[in-house]
Amino acid sequence: MENTPRSRIVVGIDGSAQSISALRYAATLASALGNELVAFTSWLPRVALEDYTPDWAPEQDARDALEKSIVQAFGDDIPENLEREVVMGPAAPNLIEASKNAVMLVMGTRGRGGFTGLVMGSVSSSLAAHAKCPVLIHHGE
């Protein structure tokens, strides 16, 4: 039997307005198509040269930021089929890996680190070129 991707639409979330809008759009798609919906974020471990803050927990910060984005997207009406994934490492390689088990990736045009004049951010560009499933770049409401 051939390996087929699960019926998952994965949405890259970084807390930006574009990613929150992309999550809302992906929820509409997932509902219409009968797909699972995955809100996906990643985090990076502390760099040794950074200022030391003993109570900083980057993974928990990423989980909290993801939950905040979900609430911003849906308020109290969070879709029942919404899964959450929080993975350590850079966003683009992690999302490319996630694309292996997805029917679609949905991304906003630019994330928090994007230059205002760019049409598409570096993560979105990388995914459009290297993802293992179709990529939808959502341009906003």
- Least Cα distance to 105 among 85, 131, 80 occurs for 131
Residue 42 neighbours by CB under 8 Å, 6+ apart: 62, 86, 87, 88, 89, 90, 91, 94, 95
Segments of the chain with pLDDT less than 70: 1-6, 46-53, 110-121, 141
Q: Which pLDDT score is estimated for 110? A: 63
End-to-end CA distance of the chain: 40
Query: 34 - beta bridge partners?
Result: none
Q: DSSP class of residue 111? A: -
Superfamily of domain covering 1-47+77-120: HUPs (3.40.50.620)
Q: Which pLDDT score is estimated for 117? A: 40
Domain boundaries along the sequence of the chain:
1-47+77-120
| pTM more than 0.75 | yes
pLDDT digits (tens, 9 = 90+) for 21-62: 999 999 999 999 999 999 999 998 866 655 666 777 889 999
Q: Which pLDDT score is estimated for 45? A: 83
